[in-house]
Amino acid sequence: MGAIEYLPFDKRKPDAQYRELLLRILDDGINTMPQQEEQSKMVMGHQMRFELKNGFPMITERNLLDENRNKKIFHMALGELFAFLNGARTQKELESFGCRWWKPWITKEKCEKRGLKEGDLGPGSYGPAWRNFPTSEGAGFDQISHIIQQINELPRLRTHFVSPWIPQYTIRGKEKQQKVVVAPCHGWLHWFIFPETNQISLHHFQRSADVPVGLVCNLIQYGALLLMVAQVTGYKADALVYTISDAHFYNSQLNDVQTILEKTTAQCLPTVKIDPNVTDLFSFRQEHFTVSDYFPQLPFKRIPTPV
């Protein structure tokens, strides 16, 4: 069975990649005015590489195991991942997996603009794209199930790729109707299998990252997904390579960014393990994950993000 072999905690190197990204945006970022109509700073093209043996990609700058409205951020991030892996597209479905933060984006007003019912993320959202991608044959295509099958049958291929982007549902313009409340920001997955060493790595691409808020959850999600796929396919999780096209923060987040940079330092990343008895990718839940060696420096704080 696949697994992750972590270095002993005292042998790990402190990881400064999250801080370096915040600093890069602060020092070199371009001032922009996105559609949210709040000034932001962004850098185009940024890549991080996490060797999982050196720790799980969960930031230590803030405590992601703090309670937020009776839910831990770590567990809500996992809940969103599990929901999308199981094809969820509504707020009700997301909440059944323990994720509650989509409410500001699926109001009646916002959904009606897309021709959707209140609470519906739309057929162009992550769950439908991953599990029910539209085809000319009429039946939806299950990208996740088929990629697991392909990895098992033909591991040496370099086409183990999954996309959350359904172009006809995300394009905008005159006489066009977008069919998703938020065009997918993350979830482009390119898997690499190395049979000689029995290892699996994931290159994840993200088109847009709110670095103080969304990114900290996305890192958890795709680190967890690498562990999960490694386990169900029988490989050892090796590296998560994380590419961001548009990495940004908003002016309203500047004070929080400065606080993080002034009051924290690079620390060793924690240990995250999963229940070795789970063999079905779609059956993972929050209780199958344990966190140890985690020493966050600041308490969790709800950082504003434009809707």
pTM of the predicted model, to two decimals? 0.96
Residue pLDDT, tens place only, 209-246: 999 999 999 999 999 999 999 999 999 999 999 999 99
Q: What's the rounded mean pLDDT across residues 203-209?
A: 98
Residue 307 has pLDDT above 80, yes or no: no
In degrees, rounded to 5, the angle at the alpha carbon of residue 112 between the alpha carbons of residues 107 and 117 is: 70
What integer pLDDT is reported at residue 70 of this predicted model? 55
The answer on pLDDT for 69 being more than 70 is: no
Please check the confidence at residue 1 and state whether its pLDDT lies above 60: no
**pLDDT, tens only, 120-147:** 999 999 999 999 999 988 789 999 999 9
* Residue 30 to residue 33: CA distance in whole angstroms: 10
Domains in the chain and their CATH numbers?
A: 9-68+158-292 (3.30.572.10)
Q: What is the mean pLDDT of the chain?
A: 94
**185 given a catalytic annotation:** yes
pLDDT tens track for 78-134:
999 999 999 999 999 999 999 989 999 999 999 999 999 999 999 999 999 999 999
Catalytic-role residue among 99, 185, 217, 268? 185
Give percent of the chain above pLDDT 90. Answer: 88
